[in-house]
Amino acid sequence: MRSYNEYCAIAKSLDVVGDRWTLLVVRELAMRGKCRYTDLRNGLPGIATNLLADRLRELEHAGVVAREEAPPPIATTLFSLTERGEQLRGVLDELLRWGVPLMTERKPDDEVRSYWLAGALNEMLTDREPDQPPITIELQIGDEPIVVETRDGRIQTRLGHAPAPDVTLAGEPTPVLGLLLGRLDLGAAEAAGVEYTGAPGTLARLRETALT
């Protein structure tokens, strides 16, 4: 790992987590908990096997990541964040908030994982009628469905299916998110391939959080 050779806390932090892919390794462990090597490869499409191994070794050396051997019958190596590594969650949260406005566009070769989007939706949406009964929306995008719920004025997300969602949206991530955020009307979203099931007007309850 190359060093900036500066006696500065920011520079020294970047000496540890500033290399390409490093913070994304931390993201995977923060979002998913203990991971096998193959789990990390799946969550980091495009990373070379030797580079992932290098990043894990560097993070272990820095005290950010720990490895352990899982007992039988699993018999595999598991990686997790140390207490020091857990302190980077705040850094990831701030990067997520800062990056939300950049989610309006998706390049054709951008990979999608539903759990990446679930965390972003917590920051992107707000409930404009918090005193009303909760609503549930199921998004069929990415590799797993995402459930968006309004509860006590807050937006909560999780992976999986909703037993009886008020609205179901299915399609490509960008137009689905555009409709959910109020950037597209239903006609434009449907023209972009979005399938809408549920009561008309339900999504008007949600508004995009002002982050720009």
Tens-digit pLDDT profile for residues 76-117: 999 999 999 999 999 999 999 898 888 878 898 999 999 999
What confidence tier does 131 reach under pLDDT thresholds 50, 70, 90? very high
Q: Per the structure, how many domains does the chain have?
A: 2
Long-range CB pairs of 12-20 (<8 Å, 24+ gap) are: 16/58, 16/59, 16/62, 16/64, 17/64, 17/88, 17/91, 19/55, 19/58
For residue 180, give its domain range.
102-208
Q: Is the pTM of this model over 0.85?
A: yes
Continuous segment of H or E residues that includes residue 154: strand 154-159
pLDDT (tens digit per residue) in 3-61: 999 999 999 999 999 999 999 999 999 999 999 999 999 999 999 999 999 999 999 99
What pLDDT score was predicted for residue 188? 94
Domain termination site, one of 42, 57, 87: 87
Q: Report the CATH number at residue 146.
A: 3.30.1050.10
Q: Do residues 73 and 158 both lie within one domain?
A: no
Domain termination site, one of 57, 87, 117: 87
DSSP H helical segments within the chain, as ranges?
9-17, 22-32, 37-43, 49-61, 83-86, 89-99, 114-124, 173-180, 186-191
pLDDT (tens digit per residue) in 140-161: 998 999 999 998 888 999 999 9
